[in-house]
């Protein structure tokens, strides 16, 4: 599968999550390359690491406000840090599940992990240019970042 | 082969043949047995009757004596006479029954029996008239007188007949009794024979039945063993079909699917396989209609015995197909499948089925593509190195910097927040302009490998532009190709940096590269803008079989701050002039024009107002009607607007994004991006473009540019 197809899989995973779990569609913005400086990281970030045919990291990063409203849509009343972490972890889990299903044995997908804080740094190879896919939902803005070489 | 087939058939039929034969024999035995039993029964009946009749002559004697004495004593003799008549009738009937029994016992033709029977009949016939005569006398035999009763005439006649019968009775007793005795003895022997015969039949029948039972048990056991073998074989076939990775299936002459197939088939084809369903229907979602039609013809050919299946395998249209499947979780998955077909023949060599084998060869195809790609990349790398060595390092570094800037601008356009359809299309055009500039400069420097790469990115952009609607997701291929292009140019930048370290300034490459390679880089020289444009013009003209002479004037006076923009603009304009403006030599000669066309480029200051950059060709002029038609077809103007538009406004349409009158897209023209980029660049500098054209004579673009801000300040200061 080409990088283009792999990004498509990750984007589909995120959109599918909004469609099924949140039950309100998200919109994809025009993807771009993060040049010069690392892509923006929001309050909560769920990520998976990929090795095998390609190496790198894929993460979904979203602001707290967006995740809180997502929880409300899902009939959740608990807006604690743990629950927000769980939510962004679930999105990462969806990324992982779809990647395992579509990419086959040539890829090794790590278990999802979650980092918090907008000042977090996500480690990735300096040789790669992360591809940022803006995900817009209601008035909120999140990013899906694919950084694979 | 034929013998083997017969042997096979016999072994299959043997239990049936044996069972049928034994059943027939048993039936015959039973039939004969039943017949013998009936004969035995009839003979026994006859024997019993004969035995019973033996006492009758004695009985007649007794009754006759009673009648004689009664007559003598003048008593009532009606009773003995009636008994004699009844016994006589009984005897006759018994004889008839004996005859019937003898016939039934199969003794109707027996000489001994018939002889005895004849003797009996003769003896009886001698005696029976005497008995019959007794019944002739009617009325009382006595006449009453005072002296007592005495025989009357009837009595006397009766007395005479009784006496005569009694006299004959002794002989009858001997003859009839003897005959009956002989008959009974004969029948006794017959009953014994028939009994033994019946026993023999029954013994043979029991033996045959036992043998038949034994054989049936044997065949049953053999059949159970065969069934167990068949079940074992069936399990093994099921194991094979469940394990094999290939999709295996059978087709009959109607090209309907058989009931047995490998488990992988469902997985490979992402379809439920229904017994008896059409192979064509199964294939329809996987291949285009044309391929489907060819495939069905091909598969039908395999049924023709004269067709060599190995030979026509080379024209199998299904040997490798690209199939798209919808994933369960959404999205489309592309897989490469390979179908092969083999004839399945019967033992007699007749084609009964086609075995279809479908394999998912996606991994193999991908590896093959990767190998081809690697080979092509190696070749491309070599070509690229040769192309790069033709360009001075400084110029190469400049190109890489400019290109990197253009690609970063493209990325910045993508990063802008617009999400609406119009905004996305504006982004698309923005990216198009930037990458088209990169391609233009790469082509101008004869860096065809780079130009081809950019062309691929443009292909993605064109594909998007031609869609009815687009969204952010559709830009993923664009950003991936942009990333690849940046990496590619990054590598070239590193090469240029290394080259600049080894290349003496102002010298050609010939002194620093091996002699063999030097031959290939003979054209390497310092590329001034004029030389660059000359190269663009000559290469474009050669690609379009045209002859063009370029004349440049004043380009060295272009202010430094305009050089990059002027270069981008002039590359587009020069190429555009050759592709669209200049006619082919034949057409020029036919129009009484010189075979070699002229393109003139000039840059001149216009007092303190700024500068004029002019690009002029002596070609066919702008095709007014064609421009208007194209604009109408592309929906850039409405028919109502078209009727009102003045000529200058129509000519202005050629600067619109996506406008091109070219019927074919090449690396030099056809995208409708060049003049849009020119217009954007000139306007970006605060300038304006004017067009003058005469049909069949010339086209002139005059680009008025303001004096750069820095130079204006310097002029004022002076």
Tens-place pLDDT, residues B145-170:
888 888 888 888 989 999 998 888 88
**Alpha-carbon gap: A85 to the closest alpha carbon of chain B (Å):** 25
Class of domain A3-148: alpha beta
- Smallest Cβ–Cβ distance between A8 and the set B331, B411, B482 belongs to B331
Between A120 and B258, name the one with better pLDDT: B258
Please say whether the beta carbons of B431 and B414 come within 8 A: yes
d(CA B618, CA B616): 7
Tally of residues, chain A: 149
Report residue B274 as tokens.
Answer: 């229904």
| The pLDDT of residue B714 is above 70 | no
Q: Is B349 on the interface with A (CB under 8 A)?
A: no
Residue B123 vs residues A24, B45, B91, B129, B178: alpha-carbon distances, Å? 127, 22, 13, 11, 9
**Angle ∠(B306,B310,B312) on CA atoms, nearest 5:** 70
Read off the pLDDT band of B668 (50, 70, 90): low
Residue A136 φ/ψ, nearest 5 degrees: -105, 135
Q: Which helix (H) or strand (E) holds B134?
A: none
Residues 6 or more apart in contact with residue B416 via CB below 8 angstroms: A30, B423, B427
Burial of B407 (0-12, 13-18, 19+ CB in 10 A): buried
Look at residue A4 in the predicted model and tell me its pLDDT.
85
Tens-place pLDDT, residues B50-106:
888 888 888 888 999 999 999 888 888 889 999 999 998 988 898 899 889 888 888
> Which residues on chain B are in Cβ contact (under 8 Å) with A2?
480
The answer to whether B415 contacts A32, with C-beta atoms less than 8 Å apart, is yes
Q: Is B591 helix (H, G, I), strand (E, B) or coil?
A: coil
| The pLDDT of residue B206 is above 50 | yes
| The pLDDT of residue B648 is above 80 | yes
In percent, the amount of chain B with pLDDT more than 90 equals 21
Beta strands B597-605 and B548-553 are: parallel
Look at residue B43 in the predicted model and tell me its pLDDT.
86
Report residue B614 as tokens.
Answer: 């002019």
| The pLDDT of residue B513 is above 50 | no
Beta strands A140-148 and A131-137 are: antiparallel
Please say whether the beta carbons of B283 and B292 come within 8 A: yes
Look at residue A113 in the predicted model and tell me its pLDDT.
92
Question: How far is C-alpha B514 from the chain's CA centre?
Answer: 61
Residue B104 vs residues B53, B108, B115, B357: alpha-carbon distances, Å? 19, 8, 17, 75
Report residue B417 as tokens.
Answer: 């927040």
The sign of the dihedral angle between the CA atoms of B471, B472, B476, B478 is positive
The answer to whether B472 contacts A27, with C-beta atoms less than 8 Å apart, is yes
**Chain A residues with at least one Cβ partner in B under 8 Å:** 2-4, 7-9, 11-12, 16, 27-33, 35, 98, 101-102, 129, 131, 133-134, 136
| The pLDDT of residue A112 is above 60 | yes
Residues 6 or more apart in contact with residue B328 via CB below 8 angstroms: none
d(CA B382, CA B275): 56
| The pLDDT of residue B422 is above 50 | yes
The mean pLDDT of B431-436, rounded to a whole number, is 88
Report residue B93 as tokens.
Answer: 């009937």
Beta strands A140-148 and B597-605 are: unpaired
A-contacting residues in B 191-230 (Cβ below 8 Å): none
Look at residue B503 in the predicted model and tell me its pLDDT.
67
Tens-place pLDDT, residues A56-104:
999 999 999 999 999 999 988 899 999 999 999 999 999 998 888 777 7
Look at residue B330 in the predicted model and tell me its pLDDT.
57
Residue carrying structure tokens 């079940």: B231
d(CA B545, CA B225): 84
> Which residues on chain A are in Cβ contact (under 8 Å) with B329?
12, 16, 98, 101
The mean pLDDT of B458-481, rounded to a whole number, is 88
Q: Which of B124-133, B498-507, B675-684, B700-709 has the lowest mean pLDDT?
A: B498-507
d(CA B340, CA B345): 16
Residue B716 vs residues B426, B612, B707: alpha-carbon distances, Å? 39, 21, 12
CA atoms within 13 A on the CB side of B501: 5
Q: Which residues sit opposite B353 in a β-bridge?
A: B344
- Smallest Cβ–Cβ distance between B475 and the set A30, A102, A129 belongs to A30
d(CA B235, CA B243): 12
Question: CA end-to-end span of chain A, whole Å?
Answer: 13
d(CA B56, CA B180): 10
Burial of A5 (0-12, 13-18, 19+ CB in 10 A): middle
Neighbours of B347 (CB within 10 A): 11
Q: Is B426 on the interface with A (CB under 8 A)?
A: no
**Alpha-carbon gap: A61 to the closest alpha carbon of chain B (Å):** 17
d(CA B38, CA B40): 5
Burial of A27 (0-12, 13-18, 19+ CB in 10 A): middle
Tens-place pLDDT, residues B318-349:
999 998 887 665 556 788 999 999 888 877 77
Between B413 and B716, name the one with better pLDDT: B413
Residue B140 vs residues A99, B34, B69, B79, B508: alpha-carbon distances, Å? 136, 56, 16, 13, 179
Report residue B360 as tokens.
Answer: 């998912």
The mean pLDDT of B673-699, rounded to a whole number, is 86
Burial of B428 (0-12, 13-18, 19+ CB in 10 A): buried
Report residue B271 as tokens.
Answer: 């379809």
d(CA A6, CA B367): 18
In percent, the amount of chain B with pLDDT more than 70 equals 90
ipTM computed for the complex: 0.94
Tens-place pLDDT, residues B277-332:
999 999 998 888 999 999 999 998 888 888 888 888 888 999 999 988 876 655 56
Least Cα distance to B599 among B548, B554, B553, B555 occurs for B548
Residue A121 vs residues A40, A131, B116, B385: alpha-carbon distances, Å? 9, 16, 135, 39
d(CA B295, CA B279): 10
| The pLDDT of residue B664 is above 60 | no
Report residue A72 as tokens.
Answer: 């409300």
Concatenating the DSSP letter of every residue in B211-273 gives: HHHHHHHHHHHHHHHHHHHHHHHHHHHHHHHHH-SSEEEEE-TT-BEEEEE-HHHHHHHTS--
d(CA B54, CA B177): 5
The mean pLDDT of B535-541, rounded to a whole number, is 87
Look at residue B6 in the predicted model and tell me its pLDDT.
45
The sign of the dihedral angle between the CA atoms of B129, B132, B138, B143 is positive
Residues 6 or more apart in contact with residue B216 via CB below 8 angstroms: B15, B19
The answer to whether B475 contacts A4, with C-beta atoms less than 8 Å apart, is no
> Which residues on chain B are in Cβ contact (under 8 Å) with A101?
327, 329
Q: What is the mean pLDDT of chain B?
A: 84
Least Cα distance to B441 among B344, B330, B575, B580 occurs for B575
Least Cα distance to B698 among B621, B627, B624 occurs for B621
d(CA B493, CA B524): 18
Report residue A111 as tokens.
Answer: 């278990």
Least Cα distance to A22 among A59, A58, A69, A61 occurs for A69
B475 secondary structure, DSSP code: G
The answer to whether A4 contacts B427, with C-beta atoms less than 8 Å apart, is no
Tally of residues, chain B: 718
> Which residues on chain B are in Cβ contact (under 8 Å) with A134?
472
**Alpha-carbon gap: B402 to the closest alpha carbon of chain A (Å):** 16
Neighbours of B565 (CB within 10 A): 20
**Angle ∠(B78,B83,B89) on CA atoms, nearest 5:** 125
Q: Which helix (H) or strand (E) holds B533?
A: helix B529-543
């Amino acid at each position: 599968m080409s990088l283009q197809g792999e990004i498509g899989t990750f984007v589909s995973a995120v959109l599918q999550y909004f469609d099924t779990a949140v039950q309100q569609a998200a919109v994809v913005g025009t993807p771009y390359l993060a040049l010069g400086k690392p892509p923006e990281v929001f309050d909560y970030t769920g990520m998976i690491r990929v090795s095998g045919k390609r190496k790198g990291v894929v993460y979904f990063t979203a602001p707290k406000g967006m995740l809180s409203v997502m929880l409300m849509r899902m009939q959740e009343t608990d807006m604690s840090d743990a629950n927000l972490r769980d939510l962004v972890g679930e999105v990462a889990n969806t990324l992982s599940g779809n990647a395992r299903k579509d990419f086959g044995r040539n890829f090794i997908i790590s278990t999802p992990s979650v980092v918090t804080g907008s000042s977090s740094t996500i480690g990735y190879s300096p040789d790669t240019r992360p591809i940022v896919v803006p995900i817009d939902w209601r008035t909120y803005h999140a990013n899906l970042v694919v950084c694979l070489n | 082969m034929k013998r083997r087939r017969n042997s096979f058939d016999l072994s299959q039929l043997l239990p049936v043949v044996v069972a049928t034969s034994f059943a027939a024999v048993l039936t015959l035995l039973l039939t004969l047995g039943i017949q013998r039993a009936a004969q035995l029964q009839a003979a026994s009946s006859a024997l019993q009757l004969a035995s019973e009749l033996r006492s009758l002559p004695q009985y007649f004697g007794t009754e006759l004596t009673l009648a004689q004495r009664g007559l003598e004593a003048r008593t009532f003799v009606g009773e003995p006479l009636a008994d004699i008549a009844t016994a006589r009738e009984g005897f006759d009937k018994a004889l008839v029954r004996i005859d019937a029994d003898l016939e039934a016992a199969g003794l109707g033709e027996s000489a001994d029996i018939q002889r005895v029977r004849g003797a009996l009949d003769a003896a009886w016939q001698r005696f029976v008239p005497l008995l019959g005569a007794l019944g002739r006398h009617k009325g009382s035999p006595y006449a009453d007188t005072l002296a007592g009763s005495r025989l009357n005439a009837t009595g006397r006649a009766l007395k005479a007949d009784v006496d005569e019968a009694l006299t004959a009775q002794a002989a009858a007793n001997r003859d009839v009794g003897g005959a009956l005795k002989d008959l009974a003895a004969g029948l006794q022997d017959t009953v014994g024979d028939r009994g033994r015969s019946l026993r023999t039949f029954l013994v043979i029948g029991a033996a045959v039945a036992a043998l038949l039972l034994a054989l049936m048990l044997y065949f049953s056991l053999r059949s159970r063993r065969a069934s167990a073998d068949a079940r074992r074989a069936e399990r093994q076939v099921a194991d094979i079909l469940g394990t094999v990775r290939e999709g295996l299936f059978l087709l009959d002459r109607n090209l309907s699917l058989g009931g047995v197939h490998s488990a992988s088939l469902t997985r490979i084809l992402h379809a439920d396989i229904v017994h008896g369903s059409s192979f064509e229907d199964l294939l329809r979602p996987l291949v285009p209609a044309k391929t489907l039609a060819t495939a069905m013809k091909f598969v039908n050919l395999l049924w023709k015995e004269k067709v060599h299946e190995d030979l026509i395998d080379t024209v199998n249209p299904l040997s490798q197909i690209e199939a798209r499947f919808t994933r369960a979780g959404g999205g489309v998955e592309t897989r490469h499948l390979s179908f092969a077909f083999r004839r399945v023949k019967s033992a007699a060599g007749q084609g009964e089925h086609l075995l279809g084998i479908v394999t998912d060869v996606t991994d193999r195809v991908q590896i093959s593509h990767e190998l081809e790609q690697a080979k092509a990349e190696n070749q491309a790398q070599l070509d690229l190195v040769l192309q790069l060595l033709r360009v001075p390092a400084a110029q190469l570094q400049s190109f890489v910097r400019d290109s990197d800037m253009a690609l970063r601008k493209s990325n910045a356009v993508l990063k802008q927040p617009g999400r609406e359809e119009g905004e996305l299309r504006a982004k698309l055009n923005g990216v198009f302009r930037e990458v088209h500039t990169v391609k233009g400069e790469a082509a101008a420097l004869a860096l065809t490998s780079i130009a081809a790469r950019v062309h691929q990115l443009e292909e993605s952009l064109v594909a998007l532009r031609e869609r009815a609607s687009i969204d952010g997701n559709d830009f993923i291929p664009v950003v991936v190709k942009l990333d690849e292009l940046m990496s590619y140019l990054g590598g070239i930048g590193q090469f240029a940096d290394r080259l600049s370290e080894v290349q003496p300034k102002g010298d050609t490459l010939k002194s620093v590269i091996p002699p063999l390679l030097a031959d290939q880089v003979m054209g390497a020289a310092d590329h001034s803008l004029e030389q660059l444009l000359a190269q663009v013009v000559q290469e474009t003209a050669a690609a379009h079989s045209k002859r063009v002479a370029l004349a440049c004037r004043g380009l060295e006076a272009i202010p430094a701050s305009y050089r990059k923009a002027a270069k981008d603009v002039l590359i587009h304009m020069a190429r555009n002039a050759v592709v669209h403006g200049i006619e082919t030599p034949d057409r020029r000669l036919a129009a009484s024009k010189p075979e070699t066309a002229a393109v003139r480029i000039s840059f001149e200051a216009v007092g303190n107002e700024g500068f004029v950059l002019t690009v002029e060709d002596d070609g066919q002029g702008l095709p007014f009607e064609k421009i208007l038609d194209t604009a109408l077809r592309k929906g850039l103007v409405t028919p109502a607007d078209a009727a009102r538009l003045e000529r200058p406004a129509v000519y202005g349409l050629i600067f619109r994004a996506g406008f091109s009158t070219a019927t074919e897209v090449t690396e030099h023209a056809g995208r409708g991006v060049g003049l849009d980029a020119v217009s954007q660049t000139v306007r970006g500098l605060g300038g304006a473009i004017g067009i003058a054209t005469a049909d069949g004579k010339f086209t002139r673009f005059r680009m008025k540019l303001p004096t750069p801000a820095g130079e204006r300040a310097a002029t004022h200061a002076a």
